[in-house]
A and B are shown apart, each in its own frame.
Chain A
Amino acid sequence: MRAAAPTLIAFAAALAAGIVLLLLVGAPPLEALWLLVEGSFGSASKISATLLAWSPLLLASAGLVVTFAAGLWNIGVEGQIVIGAVAATWVARSLPGPGWAVILAAIVAGAVGGLLWALLAGVLKTYGGVHEIFGGLGLDFVAAGLVIYLVLGPWQRTGVASTSGTDIFREEAWMPSFEALGTGWPIIPVALGLISVVVVWILLRGTRFGLRLKAVGRNPRSAALIGIPTNRYLLGAFAIGGALAGIAGTVQVTAFHHKLVPSVSGGYGFLGILVVLLASFSAVWVAPIALFFVAISVGSTQLDLRLGLDSAFGGVLQGLIVLFVMIGGAWSARRASGEHAARGEP
């Protein structure tokens, strides 16, 4: 992060606002905050659950770092996760063979599914003149509709069709969870997530592709005049972002739900956008911020059980943090550039 102090102040302000909210609804604030910590890291199984949720968020966020570097608001990331999950489900349901082969195929299928879905938004933008926010949003709805159709139609549960999802996959199509180590640990998903963050970091920092992508994102006109084929680079960013989101979808169906459900994305796409905003669009801070966010999400389920608070409080807290950090960032930028910029003068 560029300036640590304003960010820390913003975090404190968000926390304070959260406490005020808790007081307003008559909940004991300290106990509630402690429950968030305990609910996410209080036992081995809770830590395992937190790590399992961390993985798809890491994958989606890593992909978003790439699309943001290209100056793109990849709102279609939710749909890309969903289509990745659909592709992985198709492999899990129809591909015979030993577990490792099915899982590997599911990962590849998820990546290809997410990639193609993202390219659709990319082609709409580069050749169709449709802004990626609108194209992506539209494709999110289409993907959500497709899953419901599949769950209620061709892939319906044996017996009666239900929005609770498809049949559970056969166990060969479950991502191994290494039960021998105790409660079971999501080693493969976490590895996929961390590797994706590192690869993206290297890609943007050390390669010609990354540098050109950054140039396209910051000033497409200059980039084009320098001789960079901007459309190709924008599509490249969509492809990478979509592939990583698609793998997040694979993780969701093969490691978490073990079936395809309508809410398969888990909202990790949109949450990923918040994570990357907080990380100032850099891969360096994505991993810790994503962990912090999923900890709030996972931990907040405890609020419901123990304090009778709605678990949505976790989302409120996440939103507050992002808002305050954005306000803090805008405020320090305004101070740095002085009065003139604020008034729109040269």
Chain B
Amino acid sequence: MALEIRDIHKHFGPVRANDGITFTVEEGSLHGILGENGAGKSTLMKILSGFYEADSGEVVLDGDVLALRSPADAIATGIGMLHQDPLVFLPFTVLDNFALGSPGPVRLDRSTARGELERVSSELGFSFDPAMLARDLTVGERQQLEITRLIWLGAKVLIFDEPTTGISATQRIQLFATLEGLAEYGLIVLFVSHKLEEVEELCDSVTVIRRGKVVFEAAMPVAPEVLVEEMFGKVFIAEGREPAGLGDPVLRLESVSVEDGTTYLDALDLETAAGEVVGLAGLEGSGQRTLLRACAGLLTPTSGRVSVDGADVTRTSYRGHLAAGVHYLPAGRLEEGLVEGISITEHLVLASDERSFFVDWAAADAAAAQEIDDYSIKGRPASPAEALSGGNQQRLLLAMIPEDVRLLLLEHPTRGLDVESAAFVWKRLLERRADGTTILFASADLDELLSYSDRIVVFFGGSVFATRATASTDGEELGYLIGGKERV
């Protein structure tokens, strides 16, 4: 038995998330799928598990071409997916969670299900109390319950999408033992990750995906520097970057601790000067966003002190931060930046600091036309935000930044933008820097980090793993650091 993925294509608008992906995984193997954020791993896994339909290409299991039109099709044909958050209904008992989604008549046959739960779980070496509520299980046990259920439903291929997110080190060891057991049991296990270390530790073979294509396949072990290079591509350093004329300190964090859901930053110190650009590197969810939101006043530190231009803003509200010259540009342009159904003119009026009760729409439209020209936005004053492309939405957001900003906090400022828009965004940002604005930006793009930062702070697992002056590092080292390893 083998799982063959043949020439899978999937695009979303102009974005080719999967661009001809082909590879084969043999029975009983633990196969790693590596790639940076946005490489196309998740799209491929969603196709395998029936959430998306591929535009073209085939998935073949044991010689049969599978028709994957829904998650139900996927599990019926033997492909089971374990999501980052196990799909467990917390208020239900273990038994009800197990029996849920089973095929068959309407009546829920609890006694049969109980027998099956015991049989399958003991085969896999798990043990459950069927009457226990799912909410009382650990995350690891919830994963085991989900695995048991999928195997009972006939899964021959199990996909684990970043399964180590949010679980403890002990649970991780347990999970890895489980995964190895499943491979020995004769299943095909796909382990999707962007953590090098885990793939090195666990997998028999690996496929690296970059920009929707398979760029590398090999049996493990493979030297980590090879994997880093395959994941991120060759990194080119942009030339001719002006060295920043650094001024007085603007932002200062003194042993700041802050919590945001599952991410916890502990005792962070950071000082940035006027005109400095600091890049925040790291995998998604490693703490960069938490830091940005804490600096913006959206999260209140549990301890420590934050100051901007010498003024303590630790306990100041978000609007207080705005008044202090802090401006935050989140990654979700239509979710947290712009308002759907509201025009370019209206956005610029919202962002302006004028206070008159009535709006002079004729003047506002004229001013908007000027900004559209200045920022080369493809749109008219009356165009609603959702009608603009990502690049033009970002240009509009740039146009909305007030003049006298001291600290600019940017989350993935060029994500999803074409080269021209990205270059434009940075041209405008660097102009701000020349005026003495400090820029702090999070990015997953190594080129961007190396091209525009004076300093790069690398986050791993919720804390600062390393800080490097851009001049003294390179893409290869960053790749290591992002994966949580020092270069040897």
B414-458 CB mask vs A (1 if < 8 Å, else 0) is: 000000000000000000000000000000000000000000000
Contact A208 B357 (CB under 8 A): yes
Least CB distance from A70 to B in Å reads 13
Also in contact, A208 and B336, with CB within 8 A (given A215-B342, A345-B52, A346-B12): no
Contact B340 A218 (CB under 8 A): yes
From residue 313 to 370 of chain B, which have CB atoms closer than 8 A to chain A? 318-319, 322, 328, 330, 334-342, 346, 349-351, 354-359, 361
Contact B358 A207 (CB under 8 A): yes
Q: Is A222 interfacial (CB-CB < 8 Å)?
A: yes
Also in contact, A225 and B336, with CB within 8 A (given A206-B361, A211-B359, A346-B12): yes
| Other A-B pairs beyond A211-B350, A219-B335, A346-B12, 12, CB < 8 Å | A206-B359, A212-B350, A214-B341, A218-B340, A219-B339, A221-B335, A221-B336, A222-B338, A225-B328, A225-B336, A225-B337, A345-B52
Q: Which residues of B are at the interface with A, using a C-beta cutoff of 8 A?
A: 12, 52, 318-319, 322, 328, 330, 334-342, 346, 349-351, 354-359, 361, 400
Contact A208 B349 (CB under 8 A): yes
Also in contact, A225 and B351, with CB within 8 A (given A219-B339, A345-B52): no
The size of the chain A interface, using a CB distance under 8 A, is 21
Contact A208 B359 (CB under 8 A): yes
Cβ contacts under 8 Å, B354 to chain A: 208
Cβ contacts under 8 Å, A221 to chain B: 335-336
Contact B350 A228 (CB under 8 A): yes
* 21 A-B contacts (beta carbon < 8 Å): A206-B359, A207-B358, A211-B342, A211-B346, A212-B350, A214-B339, A215-B339, A215-B342, A215-B350, A219-B339, A219-B340, A221-B336, A222-B338, A222-B339, A225-B330, A225-B337, A226-B339, A226-B350, A227-B322, A229-B319, A346-B12
Contact A208 B339 (CB under 8 A): no
Cβ contacts under 8 Å, A207 to chain B: 357-359
Least CB distance from A141 to B in Å reads 30
Cβ contacts under 8 Å, B351 to chain A: 226
Whole-angstrom distance between the alpha carbons of A227 and B340 in the complex? 17
- Chain A residue with Cβ nearest B337: A222
Whole-angstrom distance between the alpha carbons of A214 and B361 in the complex? 16
Contact A218 B339 (CB under 8 A): yes
- Chain A residue with Cβ nearest B335: A221
Least CB distance from B315 to A in Å reads 18
Cβ contacts under 8 Å, B342 to chain A: 211, 214-215, 218
Contact A226 B359 (CB under 8 A): no
A19-32 CB mask vs B (1 if < 8 Å, else 0) is: 00000000000000
Cβ contacts under 8 Å, B336 to chain A: 221-222, 225
Q: Is A195 interfacial (CB-CB < 8 Å)?
A: no
Cβ contacts under 8 Å, A229 to chain B: 319
From residue 212 to 238 of chain A, which have CB atoms closer than 8 A to chain B? 212, 214-215, 218-219, 221-229
Contact A223 B358 (CB under 8 A): no
Least CB distance from B220 to A in Å reads 34
The prevalent SS among residues of A at the interface is helix
A38-52 CB mask vs B (1 if < 8 Å, else 0) is: 000000000000000
Also in contact, A226 and B400, with CB within 8 A (given A207-B357, A208-B356): yes
Whole-angstrom distance between the alpha carbons of A345 and B54 in the complex? 13
Q: Is A149 interfacial (CB-CB < 8 Å)?
A: no
Least CB distance from B252 to A in Å reads 23
Contact B359 A222 (CB under 8 A): no
Q: Is A34 interfacial (CB-CB < 8 Å)?
A: no
Q: Is A209 interfacial (CB-CB < 8 Å)?
A: yes
Contact A209 B340 (CB under 8 A): no
User: 9 shortest A-B CB distances, which residue pairs?
Assistant: A219-B339, A215-B339, A222-B339, A227-B322, A218-B339, A221-B336, A218-B341, A226-B350, A206-B358
Cβ contacts under 8 Å, A346 to chain B: 12
Cβ contacts under 8 Å, A225 to chain B: 318, 328, 330, 336-337
Least CB distance from B303 to A in Å reads 25
Cβ contacts under 8 Å, B12 to chain A: 346
Least CB distance from A146 to B in Å reads 36
- Chain A residue with Cβ nearest B15: A346
Residue among A219, A223, A228 with max Cβ neighbours from chain B (10 Å): A219
Contact B335 A209 (CB under 8 A): no
Cβ contacts under 8 Å, B341 to chain A: 214, 218
Least CB distance from A94 to B in Å reads 37
Whole-angstrom distance between the alpha carbons of A229 and B319 in the complex? 8
From residue 101 to 156 of chain A, which have CB atoms closer than 8 A to chain B? none
Residue among B339, B354, B356, B400 with max Cβ neighbours from chain A (10 Å): B339
Whole-angstrom distance between the alpha carbons of A206 and B341 in the complex? 16
From residue 331 to 346 of chain A, which have CB atoms closer than 8 A to chain B? 345-346
Whole-angstrom distance between the alpha carbons of A187 and B330 in the complex? 53
Cβ contacts under 8 Å, A227 to chain B: 318-319, 322
Cβ contacts under 8 Å, A228 to chain B: 350
Whole-angstrom distance between the alpha carbons of A239 and B9 in the complex? 54
Least CB distance from A240 to B in Å reads 14
Select which of B318, B319, B334, B357 is within 8 A of A209 by beta carbon. Answer: B357
Least CB distance from B362 to A in Å reads 12
Cβ contacts under 8 Å, B338 to chain A: 219, 222
Whole-angstrom distance between the alpha carbons of A219 and B333 in the complex? 12
